Each structure stands twice: as structure tokens, then as C-alpha cells.
Amino acid sequence: MSNVLIVAEQHQGALRKATLHAVAAGRELAQRTGGKLHVALLGAGVKGLAAGLTRHGAEVHVADAAVLEKPVAEAHAPVVVAIAKATRATFVGAAATAYGKDLLPRAAALLDAGMATEVLSFGGDGAQVTFRRPMWAGNVLAEVEIASAVKVFTVRPTEFAASAPDAAGSVVDEPVSVDAGGLQTRHVSFEEVKSARPELTEARVIVSGGRGTKGDFKPIEALADLLGAAVGATRAAVDAGWVPNDMQVGQTGKVVAPELYIAAGISGAIQHLAGMKGSKIIVAVNKDEEAPVFQIADYGLVGDLFKVLPELGQKLAPK
Amino acid sequence: MALKVLVTAKRVEDPESKIKVRPDGGGIVTDGVNYKMNPFDEIAVEEALRLKEKHGGEVVVASIGGDRSVTEIRAALAMGADRGVLVKHDGPLDPVVVSALLAKVCEAEKPDLVILGKQSIDDDQNQAGQYLAARLGRPQATFASKKESLESEAEAKKEPGLRLGADGKTIQVVREIDGGIETLELRLPAVVTTDLRLNKPRFASLPGIMKAKKKPVQEIAATSLGVDLTPKVVLKKLAEPPARKGGVRVADVEELWKKLHDEAKAL
């Protein structure tokens, strides 16, 4: 009997969409191992989110305390560990978001557990579950085993379709004994970059810009708005300060897998391709016909994005 | 307010190398592959050097691996680090083992700050720093960056992105997280992992390279540290992902529209 604990993520009182993808992974894992699905929900004033999570067939453990209001790993990790022990979880997982990637390894260390980051799929069942994950910027797919008694993992949200609320569960209130005064971490500030556009990892369509925009993302944004798309960027664009870091698509930025990815003014560096080569259809627009991006694009147009994108926009919404 | 900073310099495949899986799926082809310091560790070394230049102190660089890892230590020394520690181990490593070995190095060195790359570009696990912080019972700040862009004057002046508190007991770290920029303040000693935009690492100068040859590098056998060297994450099999089929060139927007609308039905 190998129980599964998924750590949910909420932000300012709303559940992160990525959590439902992690819950889906947790449900699959629980099926493979014959164990029970548990979900941990940490925060302050978050009890209202528990009921929704029970509908995914989980026992939801709510750790609600002021000391957990901010996503500080030093405070959250011992709580995750306590819930993992209380639920006798063999598997502890979360979505591979900034929160999951920051928190789960710390919890894993405290659990004496090995961990697989950014799992794409599971193999095997029972005690023999294996984890498939990318290595070398996604150039290699590795199947790994975790030899410790407890196995920790994060999943790439785009690889697991979001769980549907089609079951029933229960809620357990968990006591929180983290001493706020003893913490060595102080949350100073969070500067949010709000956007009305869809999240990159959830979007059906992404329009992305690189060095070729020379800092002018207006054609990218205009086309994205016509398509109801998310806006992405390369590392170069973010490094230059043209767009916020949250928009970076790449090996160490966001890995996306939309139906349609339009890469404008993007040459196609290995690290960028690692972040978007899972897209169903890739369109590349670049002035340079030798740009490596054309090697993986389904449709490549050699041209000036400042002309091409507005023209394409015209086709979508003729004025 | 001198700071003793420990940084890591992992030897990894050059990110520009073509990585191919061996036919038996047991590893990657190493013939013809070049090696260099993990790019995120280069950023860690650079940040440590900036902190030393601003506040004084010492930068110690640690690497775990076979004999050849000393190359990466020398590269960090050439950039300006003061001393190196090579924990020699030829067998497979995982973040569990690496963090246990680094914790032993920290026990001996007692650094005020440990800076590691957020992930190494071979296994892309992004765990070692977090594990180390937990083992040491110290606070962590991962994905450290800064608000000023890499094209800013602050960067050109080589100002550190990590800000030491006035009393020298805390460090403020700006982090790139989902949805924006977070600032944390950690009580030292602490563990920080670097993200891409924390700094642009310097190139080693010729005098730096010459000086590096004389800087001390201590070699410690991993087996002598009393750590269980059995990895908990075990590679069973490697495979290459399915290759994307090549696409077509379209001549103009008209053709692109037709393909996307009629053929692919994507728009």
C-alpha cells in the first residue's frame, strides 16, 4: 500500500492551475500503487479551497496558519514532512512550479528521500514505479528509480491533463507547529507582474518574441490578443530587460506545449527549443533563412516579423 | 564584514555539444564531447567574487567528481577564487550524495554563505542547494536574480545582486518566481542558488590563469568523509526523445494562413 501525497499550491487565496495537473499525476500514481491519494494545502486563510480539492478523490490536509501565508520553503517544508509522515506517504509530489521546485527538495532532504524533478510520465507499478524525466536540456529522456523508502517528485504540468472534479474525498485540519520567531527567512516583498493574458503553461496558443523584435513586442502582443494567446519570450529578450522573466520559455524558464507556437524573431537556441519543442505546431518567422529554428518549425516563413505578424493579424480579423 | 563564501564548480558536458544516447541506453556517448564548468556555477563563482570585492573575505570553490574536475576548480581560481576543494569520487552521484558531501565540506569550512548553481545542465535536477540547506538547518533562497538587467550600469560595474545587510548578519536575495519577483532576507549562514540573470560571469584573465596554478587545491577522498555514497536516484535507461519531423517553408502570409487555417486547422 503506497500512499501518495500531492502538495497543492495556492497564491493569494486562489489555487494555482498547475496543482490540478499534479493532482492528476497523483491520481494516476495512486492507481498504479494501490495507495490512497492525499493532498496537502498550506497557507493562511485557505480553508475555503479544501472542498474543491476533495472532489478529486483526495483526503485534503489543510495546514492553515499565519506563518504559512508566504511560500517560504523554510516554513513550508517541515509542515509537508509532518503531513507526509502522518499519511504514511511513500510518494510525495507537486507541480514543477517555482514553489514546487524550491520546496520539495528541502522536504525530500528532511524525509531522507531521493527525488526526481520534472517527471513527464510514470512507468511500472507497485513498489517498482519508475519516473521518466528530461536530462541534458531535454535531449535525453531518462527512466529513473528512486531507491529510498519515500520517493519525492515534481511533475511537468503540461504532461498530465488536469484532474476533473469527479470524485469525493474528505478534509482534515492539520495543526501547524512552525515557530515564526525561529525562522531564519523573512519574506520582504513580492512584485507581481499581472497579465490579463493566459498563463504560458496553460495557453492553447503562444506568440513568442526574441532578439529580432529589437525590444518592440507590440506586434507580438497585438497578434496574441487577436488569438487570445499567451506571450512568450527568449532568454535574450528577458536578459535585455524588454520583458519580465516570467515570460521566458526555455530549458530553465517555462517549458510549454501549446497547440500552436509562433516564434517571431527567434533564432532557435538549443535552450529555447528545449522549452517549446513539445508544441503541436510550430511556426517560425525570421529574417534569417539559416536560423536553426526553421529546422524544427512545421511552417517556416522567412520574412520581417514587423510585416508578417500584422498581415497575419489582418487575416484573422480583417478590418 | 568579511564574508567567507563557498561556491560549487561542477564539471558538465558543454551545453553546445551534441548529446547522443549510447545504443545500449546505459549512458551518453562521451567521445568527442567537451566539458566545462556548469554555467549556473559560473554565475555562483562570479557572485562570490563580487561579494568579496565589495566586502572582503574569501571565496572557496568546491567540486565533487573524478580527477578531471580539478580543471573546473582551476577555472574558478583563475576567475579569482582563493582556494579549491576537490572531493574525489569516480562513481555515480546524485543530489542526495552531493549535498551530504558538501555538508561535510561546510562542517570543515564554516562558510557564511554557500552559493550553488540552481541546477546542473546535465541532470537538470535543481535539488542540491535545497538539500544542502535542509541538511545544514539553514535558510535557502533559490533562483537568485536581480532587478537590474544584465545590460544595466550596475551590472557593468560588477555590483553584486545579493545584498549584505548593514550588520553583516543577513543577506537579501531577489528571486525570479512564477508571476514576478520576490525578495527574501536570510540570516547567515545561508544557502543561495543562482539563476541566469544574477550576473554575467567574467572571463579569466591571463594573469588570473597564471595565478590559479599556484593557488592551493585540497583533495579529499569522498570515502573518507563518512557519508553513504550510494545514490538514491538510479538511472535505469536513457533514450532520445522522438525527433520532430521537418516542416515546410511558406512563401508568404497568404500561404501560412492557408496552411494554418485549412491544413492544420490551428487558426
Helical residues (DSSP H) of chain B, grouped into ranges: 39-55, 70-79, 95-109, 128-136, 153-156, 206-212, 253-258
Res. A319 pLDDT band, cuts 50 70 90: low
Pairing mode, strands B180-187 and A185-192? antiparallel
User: Is residue A171 a contact partner of residue A40, using CB atoms and an 8 Å limit?
Assistant: no
User: Which top CATH class is B3-263?
Assistant: alpha beta
Determine whether B246 is exposed, middle or buried from the number of CB atoms within 10 Å of its CB (0-12, 13-18, 19+): exposed
Q: Do B127 and A72 make contact, defined as CB atoms within 8 angstroms?
A: no
Q: Do A147 and B196 make contact, defined as CB atoms within 8 angstroms?
A: no
Q: Can you tell me the distance from the alpha carbon of B142 to that of A99, in angstroms, rounded to the nearest whole number?
A: 10
Q: Do A239 and B150 make contact, defined as CB atoms within 8 angstroms?
A: yes
Would you call the peptide bond into A244 cis, given omega within 30 degrees of 0 as the criterion?
no
pLDDT of A128: 85
User: Is the CA virtual torsion B203, B205, B208, B209 positive or negative?
Assistant: positive
Q: pLDDT of A9-48, one tens digit each?
A: 999 889 999 999 999 999 999 999 999 999 999 999 999 9
Contacts of B150 in chain A (CB under 8 A): 239-241
Q: Give the angle subtended at the CA of A235 by the CAs of A233 and A239, to the nearest 5°.
A: 110
Nearest to A227 by CA among A155, A281, A190: A281
Cα distances (angstroms) measured from residue B139 to each of A300, B81, B142, B161: 48, 24, 10, 18
CA distance to partner chain A, nearest, from residue B86 (Å) = 23
Q: Is the pLDDT of residue B230 over 70?
A: yes
Q: Is the pLDDT of residue A1 over 80?
A: no
Contacts of A135 in chain B (CB under 8 A): 122-124, 238
Q: Match 518574441 to its residue by C-alpha cell.
A: A209
Res. B20 pLDDT band, cuts 50 70 90: very high
pLDDT of A251: 85
Q: Do A106 and B133 make contact, defined as CB atoms within 8 angstroms?
A: yes
Average pLDDT, chain B: 96
Q: Is the pLDDT of residue B229 over 70?
A: yes
Q: Do A113 and B28 make contact, defined as CB atoms within 8 angstroms?
A: no
CA distance to partner chain A, nearest, from residue B114 (Å) = 15
Q: Do B197 and A147 make contact, defined as CB atoms within 8 angstroms?
A: no
Q: pLDDT of B237-263, one tens digit each?
A: 999 998 888 899 999 999 999 999 988
Domains, chain A, ordered by start: 3-182 (3.40.50.620), 205-316 (3.40.50.1220)
Q: Can you tell me the distance from the alpha carbon of B260 to that of A260, in angstroms, rounded to the nearest whole number?
A: 9
Q: Domain limits of chain B? A: 3-263
pLDDT above 70 covers a percentage of chain B that reads 100
**Residues in B 99-158 with any Cβ partner in A closer than 8 A:** 99, 118-119, 121-127, 129-131, 133-135, 138-143, 145, 149-152
Contacts of A301 in chain B (CB under 8 A): 249-253, 256
Q: How many other C-beta atoms are found inside a 10 Å radius of the C-beta of residue B207?
A: 9
